[in-house]
Amino acid sequence: MIELKHLDHLVIRAKDLEAMIGFYCTVVGCTIDKRVAELGLAHLRAGTSMIDVIAVDGKLGLMGGAPPDKEGRNLDHLCLRVENFSVENVLAHLQACGVEASEVYQNYGAEGYGASIYIKDPEGNTIELKGPADENG
């Protein structure tokens, strides 16, 4: 039997690698863990998990077919559990970054029901920023 601990990593293919790195680091709070320029790859630290971003015109990206666009995505959405989640603080941060946020939803996640806010990255991928489970979680 396989026992899962947490999300290890997610790979996103990008038309503009630097814009995606900037967004995930500045808006979402990731840090650059490692870059492999010859592959067109950036490993971004997202808490205990990683988000790998690969350039569609890089060595790895060329293996994946057409780039993401309005008619096709490489994923439905990425959900990141936010530590010390405060709806007001998250919304203020997103506004300061010029990022449009969804309304606040109560969604079910790994820890139970809690607040979620959705945003889009520069290439249209949806990101769910998730708070902890509420008391009724």
Is residue 130 within 8 A of residue 116, CB to CB? The reply is yes
Give pLDDT, residue 137.
55
Domains of the chain: 9-63+74-133 (3.10.180.10)
Give pLDDT, residue 65.
75
Amino acid (one-letter) located at 47: G
Give pLDDT, residue 17.
95
Give pLDDT, residue 4.
64
- How would you write the pLDDT of the chain (137 residues) with one tens digit per residue? 657 677 889 989 999 999 999 999 999 999 999 999 999 999 999 998 999 999 989 988 888 777 777 777 777 788 999 988 899 999 999 999 999 999 999 998 888 899 999 999 998 888 999 999 887 65
Please state, in angstroms and rounded to a whole number, the distance separating the CA atoms of residues 105 and 21: 27
Q: 127 burial class (0-12, 13-18, 19+ CB within 10 angstroms)? A: buried
Residue 46 exposure: Cα atoms within 13 Å on the Cβ side: 26
List Cα–Cα distances, 59 to 37, 79, 111, in angstroms.
Answer: 10, 27, 37
Measured distance between the N- and C-terminal CA atoms of the chain, rounded to whole angstroms = 27
Give pLDDT, residue 61.
84
Give pLDDT, residue 119.
95
Give pLDDT, residue 136.
63
Residue 63: partners with Cβ closer than 8 Å, 6 or more residues away: none
